[in-house]
Structure 1
Amino acid sequence: MALTIRTLTDEDYPEFGRVVEEAFLADPDDSDHDLERPLFDLGRVHGMFDGAEMVGSAAVVGREMTVPGGPVPVATVTSVGVKPGHRRRGVLGGLMRAQLHGLHEQGREAFAALWASEATIYGRYGYGLAAQFSDLRLTRGAAFHPGVDVGTDRVREVPREEAMPVIRALYDRVAPTRTGFLSRTDAEWAYHLADGEKHRGGLTRYRYALHPNGYAVYRVRHARGDLGPAHELNVREITAADDRAFAALYRYLLDVDLVAELRYFTGSGDPVLHLLANPRLARRVDRDSLWVRLVDLDRALVQRRYLSDVDVVLDVTDGLCPWNADRWRFTVKSGEAAVRRVADEPDVVLDVAALGAAFLGGTRLTSLAAAQHVRERTPGAVRALSHAFLGDVEPHCPEVF
């Protein structure tokens, strides 16, 4: 039977949930319906059908993401999956095409972002690896270098109901200044910090540590060693409005009694490494996090700020979104970009995925050129373009969506 695709309706929601569960090999569970349903506008969810059976899905949730220069609209892509038994039939490719063409036609978000369940999938749909995170482990009590200023404000732990208004206000204050951070609605906060027994994975409930200019949220995994308790302090999020608050929160967490180790899935550029007197006490394994796809190249590139002036002609290939495949003159003056179609000879030849990778300022185009994703036609053009795209900080998204 021929495969068909359409956007979903309210009546499709239960089956949509089952498709995602089966795709990720999870047991059926409707207990989070009230938590998850408010996240989705089903008019922005595509379903692939084999006859009457839904066999694949791909959703967009419209949010704002901070790029170099400030927050802009982003299509966060989530709940992408294909049922076992229906793979290798073009289901995912059809969903990606429908989603990207729909975003182009709607004209709302100029770029999309996602976390990939498997890192080999989304490059073929024009996504580039734009950020990484670190699985960071720190030994309890690790000392800071001499001169670190943690200020005089006390970090205190408070109950969830007291913490949440403070945390949300602090996050709203900080997020517009941190590349990769997302806006959060009431529904997104509820989902992000869901704390039922099923969400804990064998850890304790969340604990909330507040500083006047920051906060930390963490759980504890209980363990015991030969000398007594040797718990793992598992950080969910540290957000600080200034450097002293950042240092004070880390100092607090590193000094919690009965703990052997702090673990935190943090940004690859987390400056805690440079707070430490002995940076070898930070054991890190880096992994891919955000993948970015430019939906409308000309609209996306002018939404962010750039580090330096540049004037180059880009020859861009894009097999899925033909409106991007062209030669474009990309000009930056005083941080602001202009993009227009031209017939001039190119200075740089690249795929749209390379521009997505560089979009948040964390992936160097010079590195992509060394990896043969970018080709230089005019000497020095890649270096100048790469420098312009750099951000002041490494991008980081503190939540998986």
Structure 2
Amino acid sequence: MVDEPFRVRALTSDDVAPLRRVLAGAFLTDLDETRPERVEHVLEFERTHGVFDGDDLIGVGAVLSREITLPGGVVAPVAAMTAAGVRPGYQGRGVLNLVVSSILRGIETGAGEALAVLWASEGAIYSRFGCGSLATDLLHVALPHGARFHEGVDVGVDRVREVTRAEALPVLKETYERVRRTRVGWLGRDEGAWGFHLADEDRYRDGRSALRYALHPCGYVVYRVKTGWDARGPQDDLHVHELVAETDVAHAALYRHLLDLGLGGEVKNYTAPDDPVVHLLANPRVAVRQRHDALWLRLLHVDRALELRRYGSDVDVVVEVVDAVCPWNAGAWRVTVVKGEATVRRTSAGRDVTADVGALGSAYLGGTRLSVLARAGRVREHTVGAVEALSAAFLGEREPHCPELF
């Protein structure tokens, strides 16, 4: 139930101090009002929504105007939802509903992106707004210092060089811009996004070193070091912030560089689920792996979104979409894919598949299979074989991955 006095408006630069207080309270972090938060690198105030109780800001949420790479190498605008939080004492009173509803209306009437993405702080919250979980996953790998590669690994002849931040930045930006257009789930970055991504004050280090930078002619790695010591001697853990490689040789060379650095400890990285690093190892069992959910995805305009991306096989099915939050998506759509390109039109023909919009969001980038969602009751088949055909069309050659928080 939403309290009557609550009202919503776009924030301005005058609202920065109360915005900081709301986010610090929501995420139980220490507040230093003398220093800007890194989120301020990227906020677009006209797309930042606040909920007020009288004159008091009690809830916030923002949209960032970004680009995302979709299956088939299509680069499309995306609404990146972030900085959503409710002040302590106001949880459970409809404030977050107001924030998210305001964000969705703002996208619809403003920039009009066909899809939105977010990182969910709590897994049970955003599904009720039609956001699909597990649109991308992250794989956390921990590799022991000095782990050997199998004999067939080619690390090339090019040296990996440790460089200063100033020397690294232009190379990082140029390399990332080339690579991100070939990797499904990667986002475009403007200067603000780079500032956010590489923020390096003490409060962002979690007891680790400043960011360190190493360059290869076809890639780079950014990492931190956390030194330690135990009964076996020094244990220097290297925490990878980002590893980007244009070639398999560069990928192997950058990992080899990290594995040979320091004394003892591990190389730890949140990476793509299909990162081949485990298969580089002479003993793959030494890699400890954990899989985590990453991007959640919301189809804001089902027809436009489905037509943006490319597909792995032809298909012709009628999909009944269930969407209680964005009613313009609800109803039957004929999805026809020919040579990888889709046409999506309203239809009165009989349905082959019924899916809630969140299930389509989960499968949209090609990672989660619609056939698996059908087994979980998120998708229903009315025509035998329709789910399997649609599921196969959605899959990509590589698993989607988003290498950054926002």
Please classify the TM superposition score into its range, dividing by the shorter chain length: over 0.9
Shift of 1:253: 0.7
Q: Which residue of 2 aligns with 1:46?
A: 49
TM-score normalized with structure 2 length? 0.96
* Identity over aligned pairs, percent: 51
Shift of 1:151: 0.8
Number of positions where the alignment pairs a residue of Structure 1 with one of Structure 2: 401
AA at the equivalent of 2:61:
A
**In structure 2, which of residues 183, 186, 195 is the aligned counterpart of residue 181 of structure 1?**
186
Q: Which SS does the other structure have where 1:177 is aligned? A: coil
**In structure 1, which of residues 338, 342, 360 is the aligned counterpart of residue 365 of structure 2?**
360
Shift of 1:188: 1.3
Shift of 1:94: 1.8
Q: Which SS does the other structure have where 1:198 is aligned? A: helix
Shift of 1:35: 4.6
Output aligned runs, 1:380-391, within 5 Å: 380-391=385-396
Q: Is the 8 A contact 1:119 1:288 kept in 2?
A: no
Q: Is the 8 A contact 2:139 2:270 kept in 1?
A: yes
CA distance in 2, matches of 1:119, 1:313: 30
> 1:240-281: per-residue Cα shift (whole Å, max 9, x none)?
001100011011111113132111111222111221222211
**In structure 2, which of residues 47, 60, 64 is the aligned counterpart of residue 61 of structure 1?**
64
Q: Is the 8 A contact 1:35 1:187 kept in 2?
A: no
AA at the equivalent of 1:73:
P
Q: Which residue of 2 aligns with 1:28?
A: 31
Shift of 1:34: 7.4
Q: Is 1:341 aligned to residue 340 of structure 2?
A: no
Of residues 44-53 and 328-337 in structure 1, the stretch that sits farther from structure 2 once superposed is 44-53
Output aligned runs, 1:251-270, within 5 Å: 251-270=256-275
Shift of 1:227: 2.9
CA distance in 2, matches of 1:195, 1:235: 14
- Give unmatched runs, 5+ long, in structure 1: none
Q: Is the 8 A contact 1:208 1:216 kept in 2?
A: yes
CA distance in 1, matches of 2:39, 2:104: 23
Output aligned runs, 1:319-338, within 5 Å: 319-338=324-343
AA at the equivalent of 1:65:
I
AA at the equivalent of 2:6:
L
Of residues 146-155 and 266-275 in structure 1, the stretch that sits farther from structure 2 once superposed is 266-275
Moved over 6 A (4+): none
**In structure 2, which of residues 315, 318, 326 is the aligned counterpart of residue 310 of structure 1?**
315
Q: Which residue of 2 aligns with 1:117?
A: 121
Q: Which SS does the other structure have where 2:223 is aligned? A: strand
Q: Is the 8 A contact 2:242 2:403 kept in 1?
A: yes
Compared with structure 1, are the counterparts of its residues 31 and 369 closer, same or farther at alpha carbon in structure 2 (3 Å cutoff)? Answer: farther
CA distance in 1, matches of 2:219, 2:266: 22
Q: Is the 8 A contact 2:142 2:288 kept in 1?
A: yes
Q: Which residue of 2 aligns with 1:135?
A: 140
Q: Is the 8 A contact 2:155 2:249 kept in 1?
A: yes
CA distance in 2, matches of 1:31, 1:385: 53
Q: Which SS does the other structure have where 2:8 is aligned? A: strand
CA distance in 1, matches of 2:38, 2:335: 43
Q: Is the 8 A contact 1:101 1:321 kept in 2?
A: no
Q: Which SS does the other structure have where 1:148 is aligned? A: coil
CA distance in 2, matches of 1:132, 1:381: 26
CA distance in 1, matches of 2:38, 2:292: 28
**In structure 1, which of residues 191, 196, 217 is the aligned counterpart of residue 201 of structure 2?**
196
Q: Is 1:371 aligned to residue 370 of structure 2?
A: no
Compared with structure 1, are the counterparts of its residues 176 and 31 closer, same or farther at alpha carbon in structure 2 (3 Å cutoff)? Answer: farther
CA distance in 1, matches of 2:195, 2:35: 11
Of residues 319-328 and 19-28 in structure 1, the stretch that sits farther from structure 2 once superposed is 19-28
**In structure 1, which of residues 84, 92, 95 is the aligned counterpart of residue 88 of structure 2?**
84
AA at the equivalent of 1:40:
L
Shift of 1:31: 4.7
Q: Is the 8 A contact 2:10 2:47 kept in 1?
A: yes
Compared with structure 1, are the counterparts of its residues 32 and 192 closer, same or farther at alpha carbon in structure 2 (3 Å cutoff)? Answer: farther
Shift of 1:54: 1.3
> 1:28-47: per-residue Cα shift (whole Å, max 9, x none)?
22354275434111110111
